[in-house]
Structure 1
Amino acid sequence: MTAKFGATSTADDVLAGLDLKGKRVLVTGTSSGLGLETARALVAHGADVVGTARDLDKAHAATAAVRAAAATSGSFELIELDLGSLGSVGACTDRLLFQAEPFDVVIANAGVMATHYGHTADGFETQMGTNHLGHFVLVNRLAPLLPGGSRVVVLSSNAHRMSDVDLEDLNYERRTYDGPAAYGQSKTANALFAVEFDRRHKDRGIRAVAVHPGVINTGLTRNVDVEMLKGWMAGLNASRAQQRLPPFEFLKAQRRRSGRLSPPPATRSAAGTARIAMSRPSSRHRKTMASREAIAPMPWMQHERLNCGARAKIWSASATEPLADWGRLVPQPCAPAQTNSF
Structure 2
Amino acid sequence: MFNAKSTTDDVLSGLDLTGKRVLVTGVSAGLGVETARALAAHGAHVVGTARNLAKARMATSGIAGLELIELDLASLASIRAATNALNAKGDLFDVVIANAGVMMAELGRTEDGFETQFGTNYLGHFTFVNRIASLIRSGGRVVILASGGHRFSDVDLDDPGFEATPYKPFVAYGRSKTASILFAVEFDRRHRGRGVRATAVHPGAVSTEFGRHMTPESTQALLEALEADRRAGAPEVENKSIPQAAATSLWAALVAPADMVGGRYCEDCSVAEISEENWVTGGGVRGYALDPERAKSLWALSERMVGETF
Normalization by structure 2: what TM-score? 0.88
1:141-196 deviation per Cα after TM superposition (whole angstroms, max 9, x unaligned):
11101111100000000100101111111111111111111000000000010011
> Could you tell me how far apart the structure 2 residues matched to 1:276 and 1:309 are?
24
Pair 1:122 & 2:74 matched: no
Q: Residue 258 of structure 2 aligns with which residue?
A: 281
Cα contact 1:150–1:278 (8 A) shared by 2: no
| Cα pair distance change 1:313/1:288, threshold 3 Å | closer
Instruction: Give me the whole-angstrom Cα distance separating, in 2, the residues matched to 1:291 and 1:196.
Output: 20
Q: What CA distance in whole angstroms lies between the structure 1 residues aligned with 2:137 and 2:83?
A: 16
Corresponding residue number in structure 2 for 1:306: 290
SS at match of 2:47: strand
Q: Which amino acid aligns with 1:249?
A: E
Structure 1 position 296, deviation (Å): 4.0
Alignment of 1:155-170 (within 5 A): 155-170=145-160
For residue 199 of structure 1, report the CA deviation from its aligned partner: 0.8
Residues 114 and 179 in structure 1, CA contact (< 8 A), matched pair in contact too: yes
- Relative to structure 1, is the Cα distance of residues 302 and 229 closer, same or farther in structure 2, using a 3 angstrom cutoff? closer
What is the identity, as a one-letter code, of the residue corresponding to 1:278?
A: L
Q: Is the 8 A contact 1:33 1:267 kept in 2?
A: no
Cα deviations across residues 58-101 of structure 1 (Å, max 9, x unaligned)?
Answer: 111111122xxx1xxxx311000000000000000011101111
The residue correspondences of 1:207-246 to structure 2 (distance < 5 A) are 207-224=197-214, 225=216, 226-234=219-227, 241=234
Give the counterpart letter for 1:318 in structure 2. Answer: S
Instruction: Work out which of the residue numbers 182, 196, 221 in structure 1 matches 2:172.
Output: 182
Question: In 2, Cα distance between the equivalents of 1:281 and 1:28?
Answer: 21
Contact 1:159 1:187 in 2 (8 A): yes
Unaligned 5+ segments in structure 2 are 279-284
Identity of aligned residues (%): 48
Q: CA deviation at 1:107?
A: 0.3
Structure 2 contact 93–136 (Cα < 8 Å) conserved: yes
Q: 1:58 aligns with which of 55, 62, 66?
A: 55
For 1:49 and 1:103, the matched residues in 2 are separated by: 9
The worse-fitting range, judged by mean Cα deviation, of 22-31 and 308-317 is: 308-317
Report how far residue 47 of structure 1 moved.
Answer: 0.7
Q: Is the 8 A contact 1:167 1:314 kept in 2?
A: yes
Aligned equivalent of 2:42? 45
Give the 3 Å change call, closer, same or farther, for CA 276–247 of structure 1 in structure 2: same
The counterpart of 1:317, out of the listed 293, 298, 301, is: 301
Superposed CA offset, 1:229-278 (max 9, x none): 4334445667884xxxx533125xxxxxxxxxxxxx24444144223312
Q: Once structures 1 and 2 are overlaid, which stretch shifts more, 189-198 or 216-225?
A: 216-225
Please state whether the residue corresponding to 1:216 is helix, strand or coil.
coil
Q: What is the alpha-carbon distance in structure 1 between the residues aligned to residue 297 and residue 232 of structure 2? A: 27
Q: CA RMSD in A?
A: 2.5
Which residue of structure 2 aligns with residue 19 of structure 1? 16
1:5 paired residue number: 3
1:148 corresponds in structure 2 to: 138
Of residues 168-177 and 81-90 in structure 1, the stretch that sits farther from structure 2 once superposed is 168-177
* Residue pair 1:113, 1:221 contacting (<8 A) in 2 also: yes
Q: Aligned AA for 2:275?
A: P
Name structure 1 gaps, 5 residues minimum.
252-264, 330-342
Does structure 1 residue 132 correspond to structure 2 residue 122?
Answer: yes
Per the alignment, do residues 151 and 169 of structure 1 end up closer, same or farther by CA in structure 2, a change over 3 Å counting?
Answer: same
1:39 and 1:49 in contact (8 A); partners too: yes
CA distance in 2, matches of 1:317, 1:290: 31
CA contact 2:75–2:112 (8 Å) conserved in 1: yes
1:187 maps to a residue whose letter is K
Amino acid at match of 1:179: P
